[in-house]
Amino acid sequence: MLASTKVMTLVSYWAVISARFRSLLQYRSAALAGLVTQIVWGIIRVMIFQAFYSSTTTEQPMSGREVETYIWLGQAFLAALPWNIDTDLRSLIRSGGIGYELVRPVDLHTYWMSRALAWRTAPMLMRSIPLLVFAFMVMGMAPPATVAAGAAFMISMCAAIVLSSAITTFLNVTMLWTIAGDGITQLTFGLVLIFSGMLVPLPLFPDWSQPLINAMPFRGLVDTPYRLYLGHIPASDLPQHLAHQLFWILAFVVAGRIALSRALRRVVVQGG
Amino acid sequence: MPQIIVENLVKHFRVSQRDTGVLGALRGLAHRRYETVKALDGVTFEIGPGELLGYVGPNGAGKSTTVKVMSGILVPDYGRCEILGLVPWKDRSRHVRHLGVVFGQRTQLWWDLPVIESFDLLRDIYRVPRHEYVKNLDEFVAVMDIESCLDTPVRQLSLGQRMRCDLAGALLHSPKLLFLDEPTIGMDAVSKVAFRQFIKRFNRERETTVILTTHDMNDIEAICDRLMIINSGKLLYDGGLDALRQQMSFERSLVVEMTDAGSPQVHPAAQLAMMNGRRVHIRFDPKQISAAALISDFTAHNDVDDLFVEDPPIEEIIARFYEGNDVG
């Protein structure tokens, strides 16, 4: 009985993910524009690093070709980063339509995280597949180092998307306080950009900063899966890195749940 | 056994105030002033199963606040609220399973998706058994005439179509309670009439308890058995529409179609209000002269083709009710 209730509950959340996913797939022109932008940015970033590598004489922690592949992975999966809040939720909160979210017989945090999962995957999938094809065919992006590296990358990438969704959900919850949500989003975006490895691959950061970067949650979004792909982190080290990702997923979920239950006690539904 | 028990409900909001102009804005940065708005100031009522209740009041009277508390969206500062034995904001998830809501001006359907996909999603969220879902959907589609809307994205529907779909969506899980918050706002006359009929029908056939907040007194007049009036967070009236009429309407009108134009002879207890060709409006207070007595007196002294007695419009009664209570 309990098990079947659980299954039914999962059906509810799966339905939310799939509906959100389908409605996001309608934004095809945004995806196309994003694709072009990300290719151009990718080329620029690759050129910057090529210039840097051709002028350096010291041994770097990553090879030039590794960095290029790292960059193309980043461009392909950019949309999976927790870089913005769910605009639909924002308009619901501003208009008072949030009332409908609160009269559903579901756990609100899980419900919103389901939305976030779709919000992080649908635009990412639309952009990443053509972008990866382009990067392989034209830009000489490298395949995964080994089969094991590829598998480890896939697992870690899934965890990265869940982590991103947990952070996004946390950001969405903060909107119940701030209504706009712009400030905290920009702050988070800055942190994510720098400390995930999106701007500069994390191994290239100074040695003294490595312990700090390692402790922070953001490397689980970009650096961990990409280095597994490159074999820069051996596939056999997957468990400890996955544990880091899972720890931060849990942390953001717990924080999001606490923030949400506090917010609901004081929420004023706009209008009326 | 009442389904809904609300006792001495109190909810205050703190609203931040700002002085006008640049200086005011700057002052607001340093020191914020708050004003307390008493949205609910001790509201008490009970609602039995299957009632169809109209809930009216001017803007900001506390209607929507009451509905939000009953939906589990808002936590009151004080007071008791029990619905089907559950406290809405404490047992939110269990409570809302029996609840359908329609907030006018907002939709619960997914903007970018065809209506049917929103319905399927609601089915999964409420875990409606498949046979019940199919049965409900078939009935709603037939009764509300929304067959053609099902494959259309919500953003492309007209308001009347959208509200019908919204109502259908709110009823898919066969809720025991239906809260409608200003559902007819902005609808054209035909859509309104149809919408009211659906509500009445579901209320009767399924014994769904319906609470309808509205500004449109015709909504109330057309379908509600019971009326609650709220103003400034206080319940001013709770009872039947006819009882309110009797309590409030001092004056009724006798409208007569005379055989010939000319000054009619009117009973001294009544007064001639308006003459328009052969049509004459006579105003009278039922406490001084009954409609029957006035009619027999009038037809004895004048030649009459046709006549009928008119009640003052419900808007007027309610407006007078607000005024009376503001002064009192």
Nearest residue to A131 (alpha-carbon basis) of A198, A76, A62, A58: A76
Q: Test B106 with A14 for CB contact under 8 angstroms.
A: no
Highest mean pLDDT among A150-159, B30-39, B92-101, B225-234: A150-159
Task: Please list the residues that pair with B252 across neighbouring strands.
Answer: B284
The answer to whether B172 contacts chain A (CB < 8 Å) is: no
Q: Test B112 with A271 for CB contact under 8 angstroms.
A: no
Which CATH class for the B251-310 domain? alpha beta
How sure is the predictor about B28, in pLDDT bands with cuts at 50, 70 and 90? low
pLDDT value at residue A212: 93
Mean pLDDT across chain B: 85
CA distance A154 to chain B (A): 29
CA distance A261 to chain B (A): 11
Please state which CATH number belongs to domain B4-8+42-246: 3.40.50.300
The answer to whether B322 contacts chain A (CB < 8 Å) is: no
- The helix/strand/coil state of B105 is coil
Q: Test A26 with B112 for CB contact under 8 angstroms.
A: yes
CB atoms within 10 A of CB A222: 28
pLDDT above 70 coverage of chain A, percent: 93
Cβ contacts of B127 on chain A, cutoff 8 Å:
8, 11-12
Instruction: Output phi, psi for A201, to 5 deg.
Output: -55, 135
CB atoms within 10 A of CB A93: 23
pLDDT value at residue A181: 65
Cβ contacts of A271 on chain B, cutoff 8 Å:
64
Q: Test B92 with A102 for CB contact under 8 angstroms.
A: yes
Q: Test A103 with B107 for CB contact under 8 angstroms.
A: no
CA distance A193 to chain B (A): 31
For the residues B137-154, what does the mean pLDDT come to?
Answer: 89
For the residues A188-214, what does the mean pLDDT come to?
Answer: 91
Residue B128 above 60 pLDDT?
Answer: yes
Give the residue from chain A lying closest to B88, CA to CA: A103
How sure is the predictor about B18, in pLDDT bands with cuts at 50, 70 and 90? low
| Stated length of chain B | 328
- The helix/strand/coil state of B101 is strand
pLDDT tens string A159-178: 999 999 999 999 888 888 77
How sure is the predictor about B258, in pLDDT bands with cuts at 50, 70 and 90? confident
Cβ contacts of A4 on chain B, cutoff 8 Å:
none
How sure is the predictor about A272, in pLDDT bands with cuts at 50, 70 and 90? very low
pLDDT tens string A99-128: 888 888 888 899 899 989 988 998 888 889
What amino acid is encoded at B178 in this protein? L
Cβ contacts of B128 on chain A, cutoff 8 Å:
none
Residue spans of the domains in chain A: they are 2-266
Looking from the CA of B10 toward its CB, the CA atoms found within 13 Å total: 7
CA dist A267 and A93 (Å) reads 10
pLDDT tens string B175-229: 999 999 888 888 888 888 888 988 998 899 988 999 999 888 888 888 898 999 9
Residue B276 above 50 pLDDT?
Answer: yes
pLDDT value at residue A270: 42
Q: Test A16 with B64 for CB contact under 8 angstroms.
A: no
How sure is the predictor about A7, in pLDDT bands with cuts at 50, 70 and 90? low
Mean pLDDT across chain A: 86
pLDDT value at residue A179: 66
CA distance B114 to chain A (A): 9
What is the distance of C-alpha B271 from the center of its chain?
Answer: 34
CB within 8 Å of B285: residues ≥ 6 apart: B250, B251, B252, B269
